[in-house]
Structure 1
Amino acid sequence: MTETVSAAGVPQGAEPVGAGHPDPLFILSPPRSFSTITLALLAGHPRIFGFPEMLVFANDTVGDLVGEDGTEAERFPPAYRKTRLSGVCRALAQVHEGEQTADAIARAEEWLRERPDWPMPRVLDHLLELVSPLIGVEKTPDTVATDESLDQCLRSYPNARYIHLTRHPVTTQRSMHSQNQQYLTHRKVRVVGAASSWYLSHRRIMRALGELPQRQWMRIRGEDLVNEPRLWLRRILDWLELDDDEAVLDRMVHPESWPFANNGPEGGLFGGDHKFFTAPELRPVPDPGPVEFDPEWDLPDEMYRRMAALARELGY
């Protein structure tokens, strides 16, 4: 029998799990760590709803996100703000209307502008309630960019589950160096910023998750998940106590089926890795090899030493 689903992908007639919604799952990682494809793989499970990047903990209120005098307006130029905003607008349009047309996206943005005083986690709660009984999964690299953002995530959802997603430091750095070159035009700034982002984000995640019960989090190397998806998806699903039969895994290994695995019906929408949206199919990645940093990066020896030590802790 075929299960009937709503426009948002929620089974019709399914009973919510208790009051409210199931506790969400957050993917925690620095940028360029396979987090978008990880999210898309998980979203293939019939009991999971994967959201694009929604900047839930990067701003205190909706007004900070969308207001002309908000923190996003202070930090980023208009074109980049529009790109960053498209994730939460896509999520609202899909869940509210079951589509991501230009009109639906405009209505989603207006919905946000009408609620400037809402704390950002209230927006996520609103969406989690609408997709319940599905488990909502979200990832935004900004969540681990500061202690304050990550602490707010853990305070807002103390019973959530967390995946600490890692990637080899050298391949992560190379990927970061090519990102946002139109905004970070100075190469040395990009190189130092990438190294600091990788190191500090992982230390921050390890500190925060180390204070939680072990049952609430697991660590996964992104390369392992992408290269052996069935093995690692089965481990994640066992941890989440969700079905992991072959039919479910067959569905999950097609990340291109995620409703957000594109730039929208009219183009120009994001909410994650731009490269993924262009070619969302699952592809293996080369073995990253040993931790050998590129000499031309010209970083301080102490930074190399600390990054190498952390890489060993993370299994590289």
Structure 2
Amino acid sequence: MSLSCDPVSESDGAGAEPVFLLAPARSYSTVAVAMLSGHPDVYGFPETLVFTAATVGELIGERAEWARFPLRLSGLWRAVADLHEGGQDDDAVARARTWLADRAEWSTKRLMDHLIDLVRPRVSLEKSPDTSSDDAMLARCMTAYPRARFLHLVRHPVTNQRSLHDHWRPAGRFRSEQALVAEAAAFWYRSHQRIIEALAPLPPEQWMRVRAEDLLTEPRVWLPRILSWLRLDSEPRLVERMLLTEHWRFAGTGRSDDLLGGDPKFLRSPALRPVPAPGPVVFDPSWGLDDEICDRMTTLAHSLGY
């Protein structure tokens, strides 16, 4: 099947009121999207990275950040293939990549509008941790969709730090372990501060904050609360369906085992699992974090409910 969907114009209002999940990396955001996608009225995208660039050409081009790590774009390829063809086999993904290349001049907002329009009347839910990692990227998202709803997902700073260390260390991008630890701490702190400041001017009904540990440990309590905020049906049979995260259309990594679009560990084993309850905000002394960043992170963590 060819990708012959009609383009969406910049001015036709496509994409009204999507939902964007905002969270730094290693915050259980992939699990959260897989869970929420179990509702029949929600379409949960994999990570599309759309707000990391202004145009499709900039997003997928040879000079893009992802040129060295092209599989990071596979979430976008999967979304295009799934919405255009109803599947994500290798041929559909290849056609999706060609379709995107043929629309290099499109703005990334136009691309997102197009995808959201194909999802209607379901609610579009997208999360890309990169969106909240940079002022310009988050501003691009919120400027493009000023009436969107935003789900702020938070995770305990200590467990987030451990996960970031394990995730970043194999890449070898830091000159020392001390540099990695310092950058991970700054990343958690700055990302949440950025999200908090961006959401502050919005009406309270336009955003919601949830601790990831609560959502994953007590989903039958927290899913109805999120669904109520989204004004969606939350009857028990639907909530039970949402616990089957392995049924998310983007669970797994494809026949070739190289399609991503979220946390690789979860995608390869996408069943819902409980997580340890958050403990006190006490940082491992062996990390060598200075007192100032520890104090800032502790204060912020307390404000987030830890």
Smaller-chain TM-score range?
over 0.9
2:288 to 273, 280, 298: 298
Alignment of 1:1-316 (within 5 A): 20-73=14-67, 77=68, 80=69, 82-180=70-168, 181-185=170-174, 186-316=176-306
User: 1:65 is matched by which residue type in structure 2?
Assistant: L
Inter-partner Cα distance in structure 2 for 1:211 and 1:134: 27
| Contact persistence 1:261–1:280 (CA under 8 A) | yes
Inter-partner Cα distance in structure 2 for 1:129 and 1:265: 28
SS in 2 for 1:57: helix
| Contact persistence 2:52–2:137 (CA under 8 A) | yes
SS in 1 for 2:130: helix
User: 2:299 is matched by which residue type in structure 1?
Assistant: A
| Contact persistence 1:144–1:150 (CA under 8 A) | yes
SS in 1 for 2:52: coil
SS in 1 for 2:124: strand
- C-alpha deviation, 1:131, in angstroms: 1.2
User: 1:151 is matched by which residue type in structure 2?
Assistant: A
Distance change (3 Å), C-alpha of 1:295 and 1:19: closer
Distance change (3 Å), C-alpha of 1:37 and 1:173: same
| Contact persistence 2:50–2:59 (CA under 8 A) | no
| Contact persistence 2:15–2:112 (CA under 8 A) | no
Distance change (3 Å), C-alpha of 1:19 and 1:133: farther
Inter-partner Cα distance in structure 2 for 1:252 and 1:30: 23
SS in 2 for 1:44: coil
| Contact persistence 1:26–1:160 (CA under 8 A) | yes
User: 1:272 is matched by which residue type in structure 2?
Assistant: G
User: 1:90 is matched by which residue type in structure 2?
Assistant: R
Inter-partner Cα distance in structure 1 for 2:157 and 2:32: 18
Measured against aligned partners, the alpha-carbon deviations of 1:269-288 in whole angstroms (never above 9, x if no partner) come to 10011111111111111112
User: 2:30 is matched by which residue type in structure 1?
Assistant: T
Inter-partner Cα distance in structure 2 for 1:278 and 1:97: 23
Inter-partner Cα distance in structure 2 for 1:161 and 1:21: 12
- C-alpha deviation, 1:243, in angstroms: 0.5
Measured against aligned partners, the alpha-carbon deviations of 1:179-203 in whole angstroms (never above 9, x if no partner) come to 1422425322321111111000000
SS in 1 for 2:167: coil
| Contact persistence 1:22–1:134 (CA under 8 A) | no
User: 2:293 is matched by which residue type in structure 1?
Assistant: M
SS in 2 for 1:110: helix
Measured against aligned partners, the alpha-carbon deviations of 1:60-118 in whole angstroms (never above 9, x if no partner) come to 11111211133544xxx2xx2x2211010000011111111111111111111111111
Inter-partner Cα distance in structure 2 for 1:48 and 1:280: 18
Inter-partner Cα distance in structure 1 for 2:112 and 2:303: 33
Measured against aligned partners, the alpha-carbon deviations of 1:29-63 in whole angstroms (never above 9, x if no partner) come to 01000100100111000100000000011111111
Runs of 4+ in 1 over 4 A off after TM superposition: none
Normalised to the residue count of structure 2, the TM-score between the two structures is: 0.93
SS in 1 for 2:270: coil
Measured on the aligned residues, the alpha-carbon RMSD in Å equals 1.4
- C-alpha deviation, 1:19, in angstroms: 6.8
How many residue pairs match? The answer is 293
Inter-partner Cα distance in structure 1 for 2:161 and 2:55: 31
Q: % of aligned pairs identical? A: 50
User: 1:24 is matched by which residue type in structure 2?
Assistant: P
Inter-partner Cα distance in structure 1 for 2:140 and 2:14: 20
| Contact persistence 1:27–1:162 (CA under 8 A) | yes
SS in 2 for 1:151: helix
Gaps of 5+ in 2: 1-11
Measured against aligned partners, the alpha-carbon deviations of 1:127-178 in whole angstroms (never above 9, x if no partner) come to 1111110110000011001111111111100110001100000000000001
